[in-house]
Amino acid sequence: MFDLTDRISAFEILGRFLGQYEKERDDKDLEKLNQYFLEDLHRNIQQAGIYNNWFTVNNVKFALQQWSEALTRQQLENWTQRYPADHFEQDSPKTIAIIMAGNIPMVGFHDLLSVLLSGHKALVKPSGDDEILIPFITQVLVAIDRRFAPFISFSEGKLTDFDAVIATGSDNSSRYFDYYFGKYPHIIRKNRTSAAILNGEESEEELMELSNDIFRYFGLGCRSVSKLYLPQGFDLDRLFKAFFHQKEVVDNKKYGNNYDYNRAIYMMERHSFLENGFMILKESEDLHSPASVVYYEYYQSPDELKEKLSGLTEKLQCVVGRPGIVATEINFGQAQNPQLWDYADKVDTLKFLRTV
């Protein structure tokens, strides 16, 4: 019998393994895994960045560390105990097709984790931008517990023989997903981004933490802050000062090219903007800013802003800031540290998997 307790134990060991990128742990449970996979872990961290230049070593290591901290027995049990025990036992496991995005490292892993903990089978179609990390991690998981082997498969071509779909992509790809997969039980995710609300009383430390919400993963994640809501009269120089320690982002070739391109376009089109050599601040009512650009918008009163945000719930993944404007605000610096139960698009994946 392969029950939830066994599955949690396997993922807990996987979490400990993923936290070893700096040095090997003195952990007997990992001795055999390290013998076969530790060198591959280090190599794949490097290879991921060669294959996709957005996946820098620092960003891949950050993603691995976040998952290492999430995959503890306590965290996994805190998550799964929110549901009835029979939620995770399937008499007849279904095959769930998972179409993964590739904007940040391992972004599709939560869907894979959810499917496997639920007792279903995962048919994974990884993104072309993240073809190294996810397949490698599933190899390690199967080595930890061979009973996972028949529950994980990959598809490079057309998806066939599945019962439900979890697909993540852009607004454009979501229309494609709807057309082809709409007849199946599905979760289809579109473009989302995140915003931050400032009230003008933030400390320099809070603004420095905000810079992590903006620049981590070069701003490419759905939890990356691309829009700032500022009170009238806010001193924008405070942002440039607090963000200056992130200046090395422009050394990344892809980010630097985006910065140069956007700056040139704005200058040619005579747009008003501010820049400091590695980021651009531009006033706009739009939410989705291109890489290297952060949009900002002034608000007159908290009530006015609250009303505006109430109409953007389908476009915002999370809102960063001090509590007060919206009930779900996240502390500065925590946008890229979600809990296991912080579901993308606020759609409960485990609850969905129970219905297929």
Q: What is the 3-state secondary structure (H, E, C) of the chain?
A: CCCHHHHHHHHHHHHHHHCCCCCCCCCHHHHHHHHHHHHHHHHHHHHHHHHCCCCCHHHHHHHHHHHHHHCCHHHHHHHHCCCCHHHHCCCCCCEEEEECCCCCCCCCHHHHHHHHHCCCEEEEECCCCCCCHHHHHHHHHHHHCHHHHHHEEECCCCCCCCCEEEEECCHHHHHHHHHHHCCCCEEEECCCEEEEECCCCCCHHHHHHHHHHHHHHHHCCCCCEEEEEEECCCCCHHHHHHHHHHHHHHHCHHHHHHHHHHHHHHHHCCCCCEECCCCEEEECCCCCCCCCEEEEEEECCHHHHHHHHHCCCCCEEEEEECCCCCCCCECCCCCCCCCCCCCHHHCCHHHHHHHC
pLDDT in tens, 220-247: 999 999 999 999 999 999 999 999 999 9
Q: What is the structure's pLDDT at 25?
A: 63
Tokens 């952990």 belong to residue = 27
Q: What is the structure's pLDDT at 20?
A: 85
Q: What percent of the chain has pLDDT over 90?
A: 86
Domains and CATH numbers, the chain: 4-191 (3.40.605.10), 193-321 (3.40.309.10)
How many CB atoms are closer than 10 A to CB 325? Answer: 18
Contact 148, 121 (CB under 8 A): no
Q: What is the structure's pLDDT at 23?
A: 60
Q: Is the pLDDT of residue 22 over 70?
A: no
Q: What is the mean pLDDT of residues 316-343?
A: 90
Q: What is the mean pLDDT of residues 104-132?
A: 97
Q: What is the mean pLDDT of residues 152-167?
A: 94
CA dist 1 and 113 (Å) reads: 19
pLDDT in tens, 138-153: 999 999 999 999 999 9
Contact 333, 210 (CB under 8 A): yes
Per-residue pLDDT band for 24 (boundaries 50, 70, 90) equals low
The whole-chain average pLDDT of the chain stands at 94
Q: What is the structure's pLDDT at 323?
A: 85
Q: What is the mean pLDDT of residues 320-346?
A: 90
Amino acid at 302: P
Q: Is the pLDDT of residue 39 over 90?
A: yes
pLDDT in tens, 249-269: 999 999 999 999 999 999 999
pLDDT in tens, 279-303: 999 999 999 999 999 999 999 999 9
Q: What is the structure's pLDDT at 26?
A: 67
User: Could you give the C-alpha distances from 131 to 33, 310, 336, in angstroms and in order?
Assistant: 21, 37, 22
